[in-house]
Chain A
Amino acid sequence: MHTLKKIVWALLIVPVIGFAQVSEYQLDNGLKLLVKPDNRAPVVVSQVWYKVGSSYEHNGITGISHILEHMMFKGTENLGPNEFSRIIAENGGSENAFTGRDYTAYFQTLEKERLEISFRLEAERMRNLVIDDAELLKEREVVAEERRMRTDDNPQSLLREAMNAAAFVNSPYHHPVIGWMNDINHYNPDDLRKWYQMWYAPNNATVVVVGDVEPDAVYQLAQKYFGPLQPEELATVKPQIEVTQRGKRTVELKAPAELPYLMMGWKVPVVTTAAEEWEPYALDVMAGILDGGASSRFARELVRGQQVASGVSAYNSAFSRLDDVFTIAGTPAQGKTIDDVKQAIFEQIDKVKQSPVTEAELQRVKTQVIASSVYQLDSVFYQAMQLGMLETVGLDWRLADSYPDKISAITAEQVQQVAKKYFIDDGLTVAELIPMPTDHTTPRPTSGDPHVR
């Protein structure tokens, strides 16, 4: 879900930049700690990342990692429901959490002297969560509302969900992070307790701290609060490697909407799975050639030149845990159809296959990657996010440093090679949104489950 563009030490750009390197520590119980000083402002962001998310789930309990994330605010052996949030609020902090396919993460941003509060509370809920039956019943309703808001009443989200469910057969990327509505309605407290017991342990967690801090002092604090926690015997994660796709798949989805929408996904390797290490980076460059700024090919040719689309996007997620899809999505311009957009996109892909991208385009993408690696340093939160995500999908956080170099090494021929190799019909899923009338005569969509009354 998040584009993982990388930070750089900017050595190529400016000789000296006032930022320290990342310090890495491991506690005896297996907890990993990454600390990166950034003393521009007297703040600290603290994030706890767990190696669990919807790609760890099986059918029937989909979305359980996400609702567990909600329940993590609902009380522990020593904290009442919502007390966690109240303590952070009283300390001027901001906090929240997010769940993805490959991770669940919790964060607080605080004035730098108050990091200890975050560690004390996070250590408490790492091992001492209490799943209260009544609280869970209420939270199922909240999550159902969240699903209605984000997915069921949003036609483009529904299409994305449908495309993933068709593109991935046995890979857990098949199911949505928030879970199917029918599964949401049937979680029971023991499901949650088991899931928590299985994954929430110091040896399955990475703590990332970025801000105006001193690494060894943070390490001492981590030892004090996380050090005493008992590790868990972790479950073996099954490989769940997606079966080879043998032919194009097409999906049509009908929903109340005004605008048609096209989404296409091609199966591609990612950094964790690639046999050729450079291929995911070449795919990132290809995404930049097609959709990196107003001078990219999609903006220039499809939106401005042919005026076939009002918008087209290209997105590669090189840092997923499992094989993923390279996604291209677009909305037809006024008077144009889904087929027009589709054809125009295929013509652009064929161009990349047929002739190498120009040196100027390649240089532009590389320049943009280096520039954005500097811009990203403006956010302490984003810096922490990059480190935590890389570590949690099973990569080395040092990739955050080396990403611009990896991109800079990509040649026009390599972009052409990945285009030819992966942009083939046998790896393609095409999903189309068919708009249904939005007047009130249309039957209301449901996500396959009448609500529980």
Chain B
Amino acid sequence: MFVKFSLFLSGLLLAFSVSASPQIENWQTSKGTQVYFVKAEELPMLDIRLVFDAGAARDPKGGVALLTSAMLNQGTQNKDTDAIATAFDDVGAEFSAESERDMAVMSLRSLSKPDALEPAIDTFVEVVSQPAFPEKSFERLINQVKTGLQGEKQSPSAIAERAFYQQLYGDHPYSTMPMGTEASVNEITIADLQQFYQQYYVANNAVLVIVGDADIKQAKSLAEKISSALPAGTKAPALPAVEPLETAREVRLPYPSSQTTILMGQPGLTRDDADFFPLYVGNHILGGSGLVSIISNEIREKRGLSYSAYSYFRPMREAGPYQFGLQTRNDQADQALEVLKQTVMDYVEQGPTEDQLIAAQKNITGGFALRLDSNSKIADYLAMMGFYQLPLDHLETFNSRVNAVTVEQIKAAYKKRIYPQKMVTVLVGGETE
């Protein structure tokens, strides 16, 4: 999923130098939509992301946000599902609608030659601004979600993730899974989707990203066309803050798998968190840098306990999860969990060494250019920056802020914010033989 991926990326990667930062143009349409544009005319193509603050965090009952986004291309006042599909496919355009917790993202990729782009844009505008929510598609998509929920139940990692979010977020809107539950999905009506659409799919609640083969004049006219098709509406209200966990919780869910999937964590970072940089760089060293991280070294390299062992922050509007994970065969689950817990406790206690910090800073800043080496990566970053209202110089100052982080700052931030004794732990798997 795009949204999940971009959040994940922006939590882990992100490093830029002034020279390679793309030239970002930012303005507001007459209807109130913030627009972020980067001209990239080397390839004859254009990417558009229309992002609404309309993810599962706004969901009145689990599944409404997801189904609303999925219904947009199912029919408009003038076109049925087949006609919309044909309109995009016939010009080689790719449309997708995704919805996670914070964002609902409508994406379009098209060739930039007018005989492809113009019909693609027209269909895109029609789909996002005049959805008809046809009954037949609604019933089919409800069934698709039910199949999706069954699919989750045969995946140990999906079972673990659902339990993890429930434990981590309790009554907070972030505990809602985008697909909802069988019970919540059964209660959804078309009226729910229409109401959700009318409230959140509005110009003042949207961010528009345009990247590709267009000049500023074309981009402005395009942005105006898309934004003016939407009602002005109002911005979604603030979400409640996430409460910290008060006690440790452990959930063991039996499942007939050969491995036990372990997730552990606590609420972590907001996008504009004051401790963002010490924690981000600190986690890069602990579990965010793949095979060279401390956790991977302890779990995989030294002991061969898991193929993948990691940790990451997923910064969100309110505190997104700080998540640790691994999978190991059932009879080693307790041992692996013990090693993981000890590793995290040691790190919170001792922090990184100066050498580890320098290596991490070199990795993050030296890889600057890689993070923005394609139109789609640039579009993902702009969507993230626009949605979370980060300053336009976010990219340019990123490297210097990473380099400014000290060992002492990481230690202090971990002591203040990370509580290994109060984390949620979820284990999904078979019993030890």
A interface residues, Cβ below 8 angstroms from B: 10, 13-14, 17-19, 40-43, 73, 81-82, 85-86, 89-94, 109-112, 114, 137-146, 148-149, 152-155, 256-259, 292-296, 299-300, 303-304, 307, 310, 331, 333-334, 360, 363-364, 367-368, 370-372, 374-375, 377-380, 435-440, 442-447, 451
Given contacts A90-B363, A443-B256, 6 further A-B contacts (CB under 8 A): A43-B369, A82-B292, A293-B94, A295-B86, A374-B44, A374-B111
Asked if B255 lies at the interface with its beta carbon under 8 angstroms from chain A, I say yes
- Chain A residues with Cβ below 8 Å from B150 are 258-259
Q: Which of B89, B307, B367 contacts A295 (CB 8 A)?
A: B89
Smallest CB gap from A81: residue in B: B301
23 contacts between A and B (CB under 8 A): A40-B42, A41-B20, A73-B291, A85-B291, A92-B365, A93-B370, A110-B370, A138-B304, A142-B307, A145-B259, A295-B88, A333-B144, A364-B90, A368-B89, A371-B91, A371-B110, A371-B116, A374-B43, A436-B256, A440-B256, A444-B257, A451-B329, A451-B331
Number of interface residues of B (CB under 8 A): 79
Contact in complex: B369, A259 (CB < 8 Å): no
Q: Which of A114, A293, A334 contacts B89 (CB 8 A)?
A: A293
- Chain B residues with Cβ below 8 Å from A304 are 81-82, 137, 140
- Chain A residues with Cβ below 8 Å from B153 are 258, 438
Q: How far is the CA of A145 from the CA of B260 in the complex (A)?
A: 10
Contact in complex: A13, B304 (CB < 8 Å): no
Q: How far is the CA of A412 from the CA of B137 in the complex (A)?
A: 31
Contact in complex: B329, A148 (CB < 8 Å): yes
Q: Which of A91, A143, A294, A439 contacts B73 (CB 8 A)?
A: A294
Asked if B431 lies at the interface with its beta carbon under 8 angstroms from chain A, I say yes
Q: A17-B43, A307-B143 are in contact. Are A92 and B304 (CB under 8 A)?
A: no
Q: How far is the CA of A292 from the CA of B93 in the complex (A)?
A: 12
- Chain B residues with Cβ below 8 Å from A149 are 259, 307-308, 327
- Stretch from B311-319, B373-381, B418-426 that touches the partner: B373-381
B interface residues, Cβ below 8 angstroms from A: 15, 19-20, 40, 42-45, 73, 81-82, 84-86, 88-94, 109-111, 113, 116, 137, 140, 143-144, 146-147, 150-151, 153-156, 254-259, 289-292, 297, 300-301, 303-308, 327-331, 359, 362-370, 372-376, 430-431
Contact in complex: B90, A440 (CB < 8 Å): no
Distance in angstroms from B259 CB to nearest chain A CB is: 5
Contact in complex: A378, B43 (CB < 8 Å): yes
Distance in angstroms from A386 CB to nearest chain B CB is: 15
Q: Which of B45, B367, B376 contacts A93 (CB 8 A)?
A: B367
Q: How far is the CA of A360 from the CA of B83 in the complex (A)?
A: 13
Q: A145-B329, A310-B143 are in contact. Are A438 and B154 (CB under 8 A)?
A: yes
- Chain A residues with Cβ below 8 Å from B19 are 42
- Chain A residues with Cβ below 8 Å from B370 are 43, 92-94, 109-111
Q: How far is the CA of A414 from the CA of B393 in the complex (A)?
A: 56
Contact in complex: B259, A111 (CB < 8 Å): no
Contact in complex: B369, A41 (CB < 8 Å): yes
Q: A256-B257, A440-B430 are in contact. Are A145 and B307 (CB under 8 A)?
A: yes
Contact in complex: A333, B143 (CB < 8 Å): yes
Q: Which of B84, B92, B151, B305 contacts A367 (CB 8 A)?
A: B92
Q: Which of A81, A92, A331, A451 contacts B366 (CB 8 A)?
A: A92
Q: A40-B42, A307-B140 are in contact. Are A333 and B147 (CB under 8 A)?
A: yes
Distance in angstroms from B185 CB to nearest chain A CB is: 11
Contact in complex: A144, B329 (CB < 8 Å): yes
Smallest CB gap from A150: residue in B: B307
Which of B82, B137, B297, B303 has the largest number of chain A CB atoms within 10 A?
B82
Distance in angstroms from B95 CB to nearest chain A CB is: 8
Q: How far is the CA of A296 from the CA of B113 in the complex (A)?
A: 24
Distance in angstroms from A336 CB to nearest chain B CB is: 10
Smallest CB gap from B90: residue in A: A364
Contact in complex: A111, B327 (CB < 8 Å): no
Distance in angstroms from B400 CB to nearest chain A CB is: 15
- Chain B residues with Cβ below 8 Å from A141 are 304-305
Q: How far is the CA of A438 from the CA of B154 in the complex (A)?
A: 7
Contact in complex: A334, B86 (CB < 8 Å): no
